[in-house]
Chain A
Amino acid sequence: MGINESLVITWAMMSVRMTTPILFAALGGLLTSRTGVFNLALEGMMLSGAFFGYYGALTSGSPWMGLLVALLIGILLGLLFAYFSVTLNVNQVITSIGINTVALGLTSYFSRVLLTDSDVIVAPTFKDIVIPGLSDLPIIGPIVFSHSILVYLSILILIIVNWFLFKTTNGLNLRAIGEDATACKTVGINVALYRYLAIIACGALASIGGAYITTVAVNRFLENIVEGRGWIAFAAIIFGRNMPLGVFGACLLFGAATALQMLLQVQGFKIPYRFALMIPYVVTMLTIALIAKKEQIGKVDA
C-alpha cells in the first residue's frame, strides 16, 4: 500500500506541474477565442517563450530575467498576430501557421547559433516554494503546496480571467464581441482594440507557459521542446467549452495524462516508452473526438 500511495501522490503532484504550461497558454487562447479570434499559434508562441525565457535566464543568471524576456517576446508575437489578423484581416489559420513555422525555425536556429560556443548550457531555474506548515499536510501538502511560483501564478491568472470575463463591463464586452462583432460595433464598442488587447495578453501568457518548461521543468532548451503542448492547450479551450473553469479542468486532465506517461517511464513498466509517450496526445484526441459532435468550435465574424 505504502508504495502505491506515494506513487499516486507523486503522480498528482507531477500532474499539477504538467498542467501549468498548458494552462497559461489555454487561458490566453481563451481570451482571444472569446473575442472570436482563434489563435492556432499557441504552439509557436510557447516555443518562442521557451527559448527566450531560457536564453534570458542563461545569460542573466536569473530565471526572473528569463521570464521578463519571454513576456516581452510574447507581447511582440501577440502584436504581430493582431496586426495580421485584425488590421490586415489575414486569415487566422494562415497567420497562425506562419507564426508556428517561424517560431520553430528561429528557435532551432538561435539555439544552434547562440549556444554552441557556450560551455554553460544549464540555465538557473525557479525553485519550488515550499509553503511552511501547509506543505506538511498529509497528501494535500506535497500535491498543492510545494511548487514553483509560476504554478501559483497560473492559478492566480485563472482566477483573474474568470473574474474579468464575468464580473467586469470590459469582460462582458469581450464576451459579446465573440458572439456578434457587428452588433457590438453598433453599440459603439471598439472591437479591434479589444481583439488587439486579447491577442497581446494571449501572446504574453502562452509565452510564459513556454518559459515555464525551460525555467522550471527543464533547465535547458531543446529543439521543439514544447512538443505540441500549444495544440493541447487549444484542445483544452474547446474541451473546456470556453469557460475558464472548464478549461482548467481540461488542462488538468491533459496534465495528468502527461504525468502518467512520465511516471510509466520512470517506474520502468514493461511497455515500450514510445507508447507511453503517446498517452497525452491520445487522451487529447479522444476527448476532442468525444465532444466534436456536440460542440461547435465557434463562428468567427468580422
Chain B
Amino acid sequence: MDNLKTKPAKKKILLMGKSGSGKSSMRSIIFSNFVAKDVRRLGATIDVEHAQFKFLGNLILNLWDCGGQDAFTETYLTSQKSHVFSEVGVLIYVFDTESRQFHSPNSKIDLDTYAHIINALHQYSPHAHVFCLVHKMDLVPNDRRDEFLDNKSILINHYSGGFKNAVRTYGTSIWDQTLYLAWGDIVQCLTPNLDLMRNYLSKLGQATKAEEIVLFERATFLRVTDVTTPTGEENPYSDRFERLSNLIKTFKHSLQMYTGQGASHPFGEFTISCPRFNLVLSRLTPNTYVLVVLPPGGMDLVNTRLNIMGVRDGLAALDQPG
C-alpha cells in the first residue's frame, strides 16, 4: 500500500508550437486567471518561460512555455535538445488553424517541425503523453469544424512518428469552453490517485442519491474527476464539464471584481434549488470544490452537507504530499 501516498510529483509539461499560435494566451487563461479578451496584452515569448503551478496540493506542474520563433525551435532541437526533452510528462503542441504552412503543396513547415520535435521527444522521453491542440477554432465556420478537425488529426497522426495513434487531438478556442476540455484531460492524465478519489465520490453519490458529482480543482476549476449515474448520463449536454469550468471561472471573475482580488477561495457554498434540479457546489478540501447535482424535489441540504463533510477528510489526505 506504499504507493498510495506519493511525493509531490513534479511533472514537466512542454508547451510548443509555432510563434503566435496562442500558447501563452491559453496558459494565462487556464492558470493565471486572465479573461479571454485580456490576452492581447501578452507579448511574444522569448526563449523558454518557466512557470510552476501547484495542482491539487500534491502535483506540481512545471510548465515550459517555449517561444515558437524558428530561431528558438532550432536551438531546442540542437544545443538544448537533452535539456528540453528529457523527463517530459506531457507535450502540448499547438497548431494554428490560420497557418498557411500547415499542409499545403508548397510548404508543410508546421508538420515538419512537429515531426522533428516528436522525434526528439521520443528519443529522450518515450513515455510522455502528447496532446495536439488545433487552436483558434473559432475562426473556422461552425458547420465545417468537425470535418476540419478530422482532417487535421489524420495528418497530425501521420507525422507523429513514435507516438503514432497515441496522440490526442483537440480543437480549441479561448473564446469558448473547448479550451477547458483539452486542459481538463491534460491534467487528468497527470493526476495521481484518481481511482481513489473516484471511490470517495461514488460513496458520496450513494449517500446523497446524487445524479452527478464533479470534482474541480480550486484555482483553475478544471475537472479532476467525476461520477455520473445512469440517470445523470441522460443529460443531453455531453460537453457539460467544460461548460461548467468555463461558467464557474467566469463567475469567479465577477466575484473578484466585486470583492477585490486575492481571495484564495472565491466562495464557500453555492446552492440552487429549483423545481427541475438541485445543485450544491461547495468547497471540499483546501484544493478542491465539489459539485453535487441532485434530482428534483425538496433538497435535504443539511444531510447533503454532512455527507460532503464525510468524504472531506479522506480526499484531503489524498491531497497531501508525502
Chains A and B are bound partners: no
B residues sitting closer than 8 Å to A (CB atoms) are none
A residues sitting closer than 8 Å to B (CB atoms) are none
